[in-house]
Amino acid sequence: MGGALTANAETMGHLRRYFTLYGSIMSPFDAWMLTRSLRTLDLRMERHCRNAQKVAEFFEKHQKIERVYYPGLASSPYHERAKQFFLENRFGGMLSADIAGGEKAASAFIKACPTIKLVPSLAGVSTTISYPAKTSHRAYSPEMLKQVGISTGQLRFSVGLETIDDILEEFDQALKQI
């Protein structure tokens, strides 16, 4: 991550401790990698968003998916607002879906994906899955999960840059096994 920070002297004084602990500048190698990666960012984001849209549409039509959370779907309560904020109908590469059958079905779905892996954090060039009820929100009681809108069958997907047919085929096969 790169960027610039400007602030008044008082704020910079408070931040100096963090700069000492963590460093205030990136390494030359990190700067070079960032510069190099920026050249293809638009292409990667276009594919990332297009693939996520297709996965969301696939899930929305599937009988074993109860609900899809993706602002690019016309059925999303946030779709009209998202169209105002997202350029060129690029609604992002992340989505969530509630798998019918709850925890047992979600676990079976994850196990049935041979190349799409369960990971603790999302985003990258490969499609990955996160299971909030068992990872980021594992300390929550069932009541707390419900309060924050997470079902025991909810999975989060970071849709990668792979060929969309490969992604959809793997998800289709996984859904057939639950």
At 168 the pLDDT is 99
Cα distances (Å, whole numbers) of residue 26 to 4, 33, 62, 163 = 11, 11, 45, 33
Residue with tokens 């085929």: 169
Q: Are residues 53 and 103 in the same domain?
A: yes
At 1 the pLDDT is 63
Q: Are residues 17 and 69 in the same domain?
A: no
What value, to the nearest 5°, has the Cα angle with vertex 159 and ends 86 and 70?
45
| Span 138-155, average pLDDT | 90
The per-residue pLDDT for range 84-118, each reduced to its tens digit, is: 999 888 999 999 999 999 999 999 999 999 999 99
Average predicted confidence (pLDDT) for the chain: 92
pTM for the model: 0.83
The CATH number of whichever domain residue 140 belongs to comes to 3.90.1150.10
Q: What percent of the chain has pLDDT over 90?
A: 68
At 46 the pLDDT is 96
- d(C-alpha 126, C-alpha 148), whole Å: 28
Q: Are residues 80 and 10 in the same domain?
A: no
- d(C-alpha 103, C-alpha 69), whole Å: 18
At 126 the pLDDT is 97
Q: Are residues 49 and 17 in the same domain?
A: no
Q: Are residues 49 and 20 in the same domain?
A: no
Answer whether residue 2 shows pLDDT above 90: no
Q: Are residues 57 and 75 in the same domain?
A: yes
Domain range for 61 is 43-176
| Span 118-128, average pLDDT | 89
Nearest partner of 122 among 94, 148, 97, 149, judged by Cα: 94
Q: Of residues 14 and 128, which shows the higher confidence score?
A: 128
| Span 17-35, average pLDDT | 85
Q: Are residues 85 and 171 in the same domain?
A: yes
Answer whether residue 123 shows pLDDT above 80: no
Look at the chain and report how many structural domains it folds into: 2
At 171 the pLDDT is 99
The per-residue pLDDT for range 39-73, each reduced to its tens digit, is: 999 999 999 999 999 999 999 999 999 999 999 99
Are 157 and 97 in contact by the 8 Å Cβ rule? The answer is yes
Residues whose CB is less than 8 angstroms from the CB of residue 125 and which lie 6 or more positions away in sequence, other chains included: 44, 160, 161
